[in-house]
Amino acid sequence: MDITHTATAGTLESSDIQVTLAPGGDGIDINLTSDVIKQFGDQIKASITQVLNNYGITSAKVKAVDKGALDIVIKARTVAAVQRALDIVDQPKWEVL
């Protein structure tokens, strides 16, 4: 499945993450900013990639600005961004959630 337009979910508040998806690229390209990138950078990228894969998205540009979000928050914000990017906000994919 391809992303057709840019979409964002999340805020820049402490313990949140702002995930922005845009069309394009080969594969999934994640640009991550995080204060805990040394400790959790790979895990954050893996969580985002996992959600995208669950939606069948194989190529996207991802900008993620992390403010120390927990894993469940990262996944929830990514799900919301994907649903917005795919224009399916009123059709939640329960099997992904």
Partner 1 sequence: MESKVGRQLPDDIMNELGFKPFETTDFGNPVIQRKAPKVRASTGQGKVVNSLEDVVKKTVRDGMTISFHHHFRGGDYVFNKVMRVIIDAGYRDLTLAPSSLTGVMNDTVVEAIEKGVVTNITSSGMRGSLGDAVSHGLLKNPVIFRSHGGRARAIEDGDINIDVAFLGVPNSDVMGNANGMEGKSAFGSLGYALVDAAYADTVVLVTDDIQPYPNTPASIKQTQVDYVVKVDEVGDPDKIGSGATRFTKDPKELKIAKSVNDVIVNSPYFKDGFSFQTGSGGAALAVTRFLRQSMLDNDIKASFALGGITKPTVDLLEEGLVGKIMDVQDFDKGAASSMRLNKNQQEIDASWYADPANKGAMVDQLDVAILSALEIDTDFNVNVMTGSDGVIRGAVGGHQDAATAKLTIISAPLVRGRIATVVPKVTTVVTPGDSVDVLVTEVGIAINPKRTDLIEALSNIPGLPVYTIQELQERAEKVLGTPEPLKFTDRTVALVEYRDGTIIDQIREVED
Please report, as ranges, the residues that interact with partner 1 according to CB under 8 A: 14-15, 35-36, 38-43, 67-71
Q: Where are the alpha helices (DSSP H) in the chain?
A: 37-54, 71-85
**d(C-alpha 23, C-alpha 5), whole Å:** 6
User: CA-CA distances (angstroms) from residue 77 to 38, 50, 70?
Assistant: 21, 13, 11
Complex with partner 1: residue 22 or 32, whichever CB lies closer: 32
DSSP 67: S
Residues counted in the chain: 97
Q: In whole angstroms, how close is the CB of 53 to partner 1 at the nearest point?
A: 19
Q: In whole angstroms, how close is the CB of 57 to partner 1 at the nearest point?
A: 24
**d(C-alpha 64, C-alpha 46), whole Å:** 12
Q: In whole angstroms, how close is the CB of 41 to partner 1 at the nearest point?
A: 8
Complex with partner 1: residue 9 or 44, whichever CB lies closer: 44
Complex with partner 1: residue 13 or 87, whichever CB lies closer: 13
Complex with partner 1: residue 14 or 91, whichever CB lies closer: 14
